[in-house]
A = this chain, B = another copy of it.
Amino acid sequence: MAEIQLPYLLFVGDEHQESNAKTAFGVRQWRPEACTGQWNLPGGTVDTGLPKLTPAEAVARGARSLLIGVAPVGGQIAQHWIPAICEALEAGLDIVSGMHTRLGSVEVIRDTAARCGRALHDVRHGMRQFPVASGVPRAGKRLLTVGTDCALGKKYTALALTRAFQAEGLAATFRATGQTGIMISGAGVAIDAVVADFVAGAAEWLSPANEPQHWDLIEGQGSILHPGYAAVSLGLLHGSQPDAMVLCHDPRRTHIDGYEGFAIPPLDEVMHLHLLLARRTNPAARFVGIALNTSKLEPRAAEALLATTTERHSLPAFDPLRSQLKPVVQRALAL
Protein backbone atom coordinates (compact mmCIF):
# COMPACT_ATOMS: atom_id res chain seq x y z
CA MET A 1 0.00 0.00 0.00
CA ALA A 2 1.01 3.63 -0.37
CA GLU A 3 2.46 4.87 2.92
CA ILE A 4 0.05 6.93 5.02
CA GLN A 5 1.31 10.52 5.39
CA LEU A 6 1.49 11.79 8.98
CA PRO A 7 0.54 13.78 11.05
CA TYR A 8 -3.24 13.53 11.21
CA LEU A 9 -6.15 15.82 11.71
CA LEU A 10 -8.59 13.61 13.67
CA PHE A 11 -12.13 13.81 12.30
CA VAL A 12 -14.71 13.21 15.04
CA GLY A 13 -17.75 14.46 13.08
CA ASP A 14 -20.83 15.45 15.04
CA GLU A 15 -20.29 12.63 17.53
CA HIS A 16 -20.87 13.28 21.19
CA GLN A 17 -20.20 9.80 22.62
CA GLU A 18 -16.57 9.03 23.38
CA SER A 19 -17.19 5.30 22.92
CA ASN A 20 -17.94 5.90 19.24
CA ALA A 21 -14.61 7.67 18.76
CA LYS A 22 -12.31 4.84 19.93
CA THR A 23 -10.14 5.18 16.86
CA ALA A 24 -9.45 8.86 17.53
CA PHE A 25 -8.65 8.17 21.19
CA GLY A 26 -6.44 5.17 20.32
CA VAL A 27 -4.34 7.15 17.86
CA ARG A 28 -4.21 10.09 20.28
CA GLN A 29 -2.96 7.78 23.04
CA TRP A 30 -0.34 5.84 21.10
CA ARG A 31 0.89 8.39 18.58
CA PRO A 32 0.31 11.83 20.15
CA GLU A 33 3.15 13.26 18.05
CA ALA A 34 1.22 12.17 14.92
CA CYS A 35 -1.89 14.19 15.84
CA THR A 36 -2.06 17.88 14.87
CA GLY A 37 -5.59 18.47 16.10
CA GLN A 38 -9.20 17.36 15.98
CA TRP A 39 -12.08 18.55 13.81
CA ASN A 40 -15.64 18.57 15.18
CA LEU A 41 -18.61 19.24 12.93
CA PRO A 42 -21.33 21.52 14.33
CA GLY A 43 -23.04 19.76 17.27
CA GLY A 44 -20.12 17.41 17.93
CA THR A 45 -18.71 17.42 21.46
CA VAL A 46 -16.11 14.63 21.56
CA ASP A 47 -12.91 16.02 23.07
CA THR A 48 -9.56 14.24 22.69
CA GLY A 49 -7.74 17.14 24.30
CA LEU A 50 -6.17 18.21 21.01
CA PRO A 51 -6.58 21.71 19.50
CA LYS A 52 -9.78 22.12 17.48
CA LEU A 53 -8.81 22.94 13.93
CA THR A 54 -10.41 23.23 10.50
CA PRO A 55 -8.67 21.36 7.66
CA ALA A 56 -7.09 24.59 6.41
CA GLU A 57 -5.77 25.43 9.90
CA ALA A 58 -4.45 21.90 10.34
CA VAL A 59 -2.64 21.99 6.99
CA ALA A 60 -1.05 25.29 8.05
CA ARG A 61 0.29 23.45 11.13
CA GLY A 62 1.69 20.60 9.04
CA ALA A 63 -1.13 18.01 8.95
CA ARG A 64 -0.98 15.63 5.96
CA SER A 65 -4.03 13.36 6.39
CA LEU A 66 -7.57 13.48 7.73
CA LEU A 67 -8.21 10.39 9.88
CA ILE A 68 -11.84 9.28 10.20
CA GLY A 69 -11.71 8.76 13.96
CA VAL A 70 -15.36 7.86 14.56
CA ALA A 71 -17.18 4.64 13.71
CA PRO A 72 -20.44 5.43 11.93
CA VAL A 73 -23.42 3.13 12.43
CA GLY A 74 -23.07 0.11 10.13
CA GLY A 75 -19.61 1.20 9.01
CA GLN A 76 -21.07 3.30 6.21
CA ILE A 77 -20.09 6.87 5.29
CA ALA A 78 -22.74 9.27 6.67
CA GLN A 79 -24.18 11.49 3.93
CA HIS A 80 -23.47 14.68 5.84
CA TRP A 81 -19.77 13.72 6.18
CA ILE A 82 -19.22 13.79 2.43
CA PRO A 83 -18.92 17.59 2.04
CA ALA A 84 -16.56 17.63 5.05
CA ILE A 85 -14.34 14.96 3.52
CA CYS A 86 -14.25 16.90 0.26
CA GLU A 87 -13.36 20.09 2.13
CA ALA A 88 -10.39 18.27 3.68
CA LEU A 89 -9.25 17.02 0.25
CA GLU A 90 -9.50 20.55 -1.14
CA ALA A 91 -7.43 21.82 1.80
CA GLY A 92 -4.66 19.39 0.84
CA LEU A 93 -5.22 16.39 3.14
CA ASP A 94 -5.23 12.69 2.20
CA ILE A 95 -8.06 10.67 3.79
CA VAL A 96 -7.57 7.60 6.02
CA SER A 97 -10.65 5.50 6.75
CA GLY A 98 -11.47 2.21 8.43
CA MET A 99 -15.07 2.18 7.24
CA HIS A 100 -16.67 -0.71 5.38
CA THR A 101 -17.64 1.60 2.53
CA ARG A 102 -14.62 2.38 0.40
CA LEU A 103 -13.97 6.10 0.12
CA GLY A 104 -13.55 5.79 -3.65
CA SER A 105 -17.02 4.26 -4.01
CA VAL A 106 -18.50 7.72 -3.34
CA GLU A 107 -18.25 9.49 -6.69
CA VAL A 108 -17.73 13.02 -5.44
CA ILE A 109 -15.00 11.88 -3.01
CA ARG A 110 -13.25 9.91 -5.76
CA ASP A 111 -13.46 12.82 -8.22
CA THR A 112 -12.33 15.43 -5.70
CA ALA A 113 -9.36 13.27 -4.63
CA ALA A 114 -8.33 12.78 -8.28
CA ARG A 115 -8.64 16.48 -9.06
CA CYS A 116 -6.66 17.50 -5.96
CA GLY A 117 -4.07 14.72 -6.36
CA ARG A 118 -4.79 13.32 -2.88
CA ALA A 119 -4.69 9.68 -1.71
CA LEU A 120 -7.61 7.71 -0.26
CA HIS A 121 -6.60 4.99 2.24
CA ASP A 122 -9.20 2.35 3.09
CA VAL A 123 -7.30 0.48 5.77
CA ARG A 124 -10.05 -2.08 6.38
CA HIS A 125 -9.62 -3.42 2.88
CA GLY A 126 -6.78 -5.28 1.24
CA MET A 127 -4.68 -2.73 -0.55
CA ARG A 128 -2.26 -4.97 -2.40
CA GLN A 129 -1.66 -8.54 -3.53
CA PHE A 130 0.61 -10.87 -1.56
CA PRO A 131 2.51 -14.01 -2.58
CA VAL A 132 2.03 -17.44 -0.99
CA ALA A 133 4.36 -17.70 2.04
CA SER A 134 7.82 -19.13 1.34
CA GLY A 135 8.46 -20.43 4.87
CA VAL A 136 12.10 -19.33 4.50
CA PRO A 137 13.62 -17.98 7.76
CA ARG A 138 14.65 -14.33 7.68
CA ALA A 139 17.03 -12.22 9.76
CA GLY A 140 15.88 -10.11 12.69
CA LYS A 141 13.84 -10.98 15.78
CA ARG A 142 10.06 -11.14 16.01
CA LEU A 143 7.59 -11.14 18.87
CA LEU A 144 3.92 -11.91 18.18
CA THR A 145 1.11 -11.24 20.64
CA VAL A 146 -1.43 -14.09 20.60
CA GLY A 147 -4.68 -14.30 22.50
CA THR A 148 -7.25 -16.57 24.09
CA ASP A 149 -9.93 -14.54 22.23
CA CYS A 150 -10.51 -11.37 20.20
CA ALA A 151 -10.47 -7.86 21.67
CA LEU A 152 -8.55 -8.40 24.91
CA GLY A 153 -5.35 -6.45 24.44
CA LYS A 154 -3.13 -7.93 21.70
CA LYS A 155 -2.68 -4.56 20.00
CA TYR A 156 -2.07 -2.64 23.22
CA THR A 157 0.40 -5.27 24.40
CA ALA A 158 2.39 -5.07 21.15
CA LEU A 159 2.36 -1.26 21.31
CA ALA A 160 3.40 -1.17 24.97
CA LEU A 161 6.18 -3.70 24.34
CA THR A 162 7.43 -1.66 21.38
CA ARG A 163 7.84 1.30 23.75
CA ALA A 164 9.49 -0.92 26.36
CA PHE A 165 12.01 -2.30 23.84
CA GLN A 166 12.78 1.21 22.63
CA ALA A 167 13.15 2.42 26.23
CA GLU A 168 15.97 -0.11 26.59
CA GLY A 169 17.70 1.44 23.60
CA LEU A 170 16.76 -1.43 21.28
CA ALA A 171 15.71 -1.10 17.65
CA ALA A 172 12.03 -2.11 17.61
CA THR A 173 9.10 -1.62 15.22
CA PHE A 174 5.39 -2.09 15.85
CA ARG A 175 3.78 -4.08 12.99
CA ALA A 176 0.06 -3.47 12.61
CA THR A 177 -2.39 -6.14 11.42
CA GLY A 178 -5.71 -4.36 12.03
CA GLN A 179 -7.17 -1.05 11.06
CA THR A 180 -6.61 0.90 14.29
CA GLY A 181 -3.06 -0.42 14.47
CA ILE A 182 -2.46 0.67 10.88
CA MET A 183 -3.79 4.12 11.68
CA ILE A 184 -1.52 4.35 14.72
CA SER A 185 1.61 3.24 12.90
CA GLY A 186 0.82 4.65 9.46
CA ALA A 187 1.49 1.26 7.82
CA GLY A 188 0.55 -2.42 8.06
CA VAL A 189 -1.80 -5.04 6.66
CA ALA A 190 -5.48 -5.59 7.54
CA ILE A 191 -4.67 -9.30 7.78
CA ASP A 192 -8.25 -10.52 8.14
CA ALA A 193 -9.14 -8.95 4.77
CA VAL A 194 -6.50 -11.00 2.93
CA VAL A 195 -7.60 -14.00 0.82
CA ALA A 196 -6.92 -17.17 2.84
CA ASP A 197 -4.19 -18.55 0.53
CA PHE A 198 -2.08 -15.46 1.08
CA VAL A 199 -2.46 -14.73 4.83
CA ALA A 200 0.88 -16.29 5.80
CA GLY A 201 2.49 -14.58 2.81
CA ALA A 202 1.10 -11.23 3.92
CA ALA A 203 2.53 -11.85 7.40
CA GLU A 204 5.95 -12.60 5.89
CA TRP A 205 5.75 -9.34 3.92
CA LEU A 206 4.71 -7.38 7.02
CA SER A 207 7.83 -8.23 9.05
CA PRO A 208 10.58 -8.47 6.44
CA ALA A 209 14.23 -9.43 6.96
CA ASN A 210 15.96 -6.90 9.18
CA GLU A 211 19.12 -6.31 11.23
CA PRO A 212 19.87 -9.38 13.41
CA GLN A 213 19.18 -7.51 16.67
CA HIS A 214 16.09 -5.62 15.44
CA TRP A 215 12.74 -6.60 16.98
CA ASP A 216 9.40 -6.52 15.22
CA LEU A 217 6.50 -6.40 17.70
CA ILE A 218 3.62 -7.89 15.73
CA GLU A 219 -0.01 -7.22 16.61
CA GLY A 220 -1.89 -10.54 16.86
CA GLN A 221 -5.39 -11.06 15.46
CA GLY A 222 -8.26 -13.29 16.56
CA SER A 223 -7.34 -16.52 18.32
CA ILE A 224 -6.31 -20.04 17.40
CA LEU A 225 -9.16 -21.05 19.72
CA HIS A 226 -11.82 -19.01 17.89
CA PRO A 227 -14.24 -21.06 15.76
CA GLY A 228 -14.55 -18.20 13.28
CA TYR A 229 -11.13 -16.58 13.14
CA ALA A 230 -8.57 -19.31 13.81
CA ALA A 231 -7.56 -19.37 10.14
CA VAL A 232 -6.44 -15.75 10.32
CA SER A 233 -4.53 -16.39 13.56
CA LEU A 234 -2.72 -19.47 12.21
CA GLY A 235 -1.68 -17.79 8.94
CA LEU A 236 -0.35 -14.83 10.91
CA LEU A 237 1.47 -17.17 13.32
CA HIS A 238 3.12 -19.20 10.53
CA GLY A 239 4.12 -16.18 8.46
CA SER A 240 5.41 -14.17 11.43
CA GLN A 241 7.84 -16.97 12.39
CA PRO A 242 7.95 -15.53 15.92
CA ASP A 243 11.00 -16.09 18.12
CA ALA A 244 8.91 -14.93 21.06
CA MET A 245 5.20 -14.95 21.85
CA VAL A 246 3.20 -13.22 24.54
CA LEU A 247 -0.16 -14.74 25.48
CA CYS A 248 -2.86 -12.11 26.03
CA HIS A 249 -5.84 -12.98 28.20
CA ASP A 250 -8.72 -11.32 29.99
CA PRO A 251 -8.98 -13.12 33.36
CA ARG A 252 -12.73 -12.44 33.59
CA ARG A 253 -13.44 -14.15 30.29
CA THR A 254 -14.25 -17.86 30.58
CA HIS A 255 -15.62 -18.34 27.06
CA ILE A 256 -15.03 -16.96 23.58
CA ASP A 257 -17.05 -13.74 23.45
CA GLY A 258 -20.37 -14.45 21.75
CA TYR A 259 -19.68 -18.22 21.42
CA GLU A 260 -21.34 -19.92 24.37
CA GLY A 261 -20.12 -23.44 23.72
CA PHE A 262 -16.47 -22.43 23.46
CA ALA A 263 -14.69 -22.40 26.83
CA ILE A 264 -11.19 -20.95 27.06
CA PRO A 265 -8.91 -23.83 28.11
CA PRO A 266 -6.25 -23.45 30.86
CA LEU A 267 -3.45 -21.12 29.75
CA ASP A 268 -0.80 -23.85 29.71
CA GLU A 269 -2.88 -25.83 27.19
CA VAL A 270 -3.30 -22.71 25.07
CA MET A 271 0.45 -22.10 25.09
CA HIS A 272 1.17 -25.76 24.28
CA LEU A 273 -1.06 -25.55 21.19
CA HIS A 274 0.56 -22.32 20.04
CA LEU A 275 4.04 -23.78 20.42
CA LEU A 276 3.09 -26.90 18.44
CA LEU A 277 1.89 -24.71 15.58
CA ALA A 278 4.51 -21.95 15.79
CA ARG A 279 7.43 -24.38 15.73
CA ARG A 280 6.43 -25.47 12.24
CA THR A 281 8.01 -22.28 10.87
CA ASN A 282 10.31 -21.37 13.78
CA PRO A 283 11.51 -24.36 15.85
CA ALA A 284 12.96 -21.93 18.44
CA ALA A 285 9.63 -20.23 19.25
CA ARG A 286 9.08 -19.63 22.99
CA PHE A 287 6.65 -17.78 25.23
CA VAL A 288 8.23 -14.84 27.07
CA GLY A 289 5.27 -13.49 28.99
CA ILE A 290 1.56 -13.47 29.77
CA ALA A 291 -0.36 -10.21 29.39
CA LEU A 292 -3.45 -9.96 31.58
CA ASN A 293 -6.02 -7.24 31.10
CA THR A 294 -6.63 -6.30 34.75
CA SER A 295 -8.40 -3.01 34.06
CA LYS A 296 -11.58 -4.19 35.78
CA LEU A 297 -9.80 -5.51 38.91
CA GLU A 298 -8.87 -3.65 42.10
CA PRO A 299 -5.11 -2.91 42.16
CA ARG A 300 -4.51 -5.38 45.00
CA ALA A 301 -6.47 -8.17 43.27
CA ALA A 302 -4.62 -7.42 40.04
CA GLU A 303 -1.23 -7.67 41.77
CA ALA A 304 -2.15 -10.95 43.40
CA LEU A 305 -3.34 -12.41 40.10
CA LEU A 306 -0.19 -11.33 38.28
CA ALA A 307 1.97 -12.86 41.02
CA THR A 308 0.09 -16.17 40.95
CA THR A 309 0.20 -16.32 37.16
CA THR A 310 3.92 -15.55 37.10
CA GLU A 311 4.61 -18.35 39.55
CA ARG A 312 2.31 -20.91 37.98
CA HIS A 313 3.72 -20.57 34.48
CA SER A 314 7.30 -19.50 35.28
CA LEU A 315 6.84 -16.57 32.94
CA PRO A 316 6.52 -12.83 33.67
CA ALA A 317 2.80 -12.01 33.91
CA PHE A 318 1.99 -8.34 33.41
CA ASP A 319 -0.67 -5.81 32.57
CA PRO A 320 0.59 -3.85 29.55
CA LEU A 321 -0.96 -0.61 30.85
CA ARG A 322 -0.03 -1.02 34.54
CA SER A 323 3.13 -3.09 34.89
CA GLN A 324 6.85 -2.62 34.36
CA LEU A 325 7.59 -4.41 31.09
CA LYS A 326 11.33 -4.72 31.55
CA PRO A 327 11.15 -8.38 32.74
CA VAL A 328 9.43 -9.33 29.46
CA VAL A 329 12.02 -7.48 27.38
CA GLN A 330 14.80 -9.20 29.32
CA ARG A 331 13.19 -12.58 28.86
CA ALA A 332 12.98 -11.99 25.10
CA LEU A 333 16.59 -10.82 24.90
CA ALA A 334 17.72 -13.90 26.83
CA LEU A 335 16.32 -16.28 24.17
State the A residues within 8 Å of B (CB). 126, 132-137, 191-197, 199-201, 225, 227-232, 234-235, 238-239, 256, 259, 261-262, 273, 276-277, 280-281
Task: Tell me the nearest residue of chain B to A262, going by C-beta.
Answer: B135
B133 near A228 (CB under 8 angstroms)?
yes
Neighbour of A199 across the interface among B201, B231, B238, CB < 8 A: B231
- Set of chain B residues within 8 Å of A276, measured between Cβ atoms: 273, 276
B225 near A235 (CB under 8 angstroms)?
no
- Set of chain B residues within 8 Å of A231, measured between Cβ atoms: 196-197, 199-200, 231-232, 234-235, 238
Instruction: Tell me the smallest distance from the CB of A146 to a CB of chain B, in Å.
Output: 14
- Set of chain B residues within 8 Å of A199, measured between Cβ atoms: 196, 231
- Set of chain B residues within 8 Å of A135, measured between Cβ atoms: 227-228, 256, 259, 261-262
Inter-chain pairs besides A196-B231, A197-B229, 18 sampled, C-beta below 8 Å: A132-B229, A133-B227, A135-B228, A135-B256, A135-B262, A137-B261, A192-B196, A196-B196, A197-B228, A197-B231, A200-B227, A200-B228, A200-B230, A200-B231, A230-B234, A230-B280, A231-B231, A234-B234
- Set of chain B residues within 8 Å of A239, measured between Cβ atoms: 227
- A319-B243 Cα distance, complex, nearest whole Å: 40
User: A228 and B262 in contact (CB under 8 A), knowing A193-B195, A195-B194, A196-B192?
Assistant: no
Instruction: Tell me the smallest distance from the CB of A241 to a CB of chain B, in Å.
Output: 9
A195 near B197 (CB under 8 angstroms)?
no
B232 near A238 (CB under 8 angstroms)?
no
Q: Which 7 A-B pairs have the closest CB atoms?
A: A135-B227, A231-B235, A132-B228, A133-B228, A192-B197, A231-B231, A199-B231
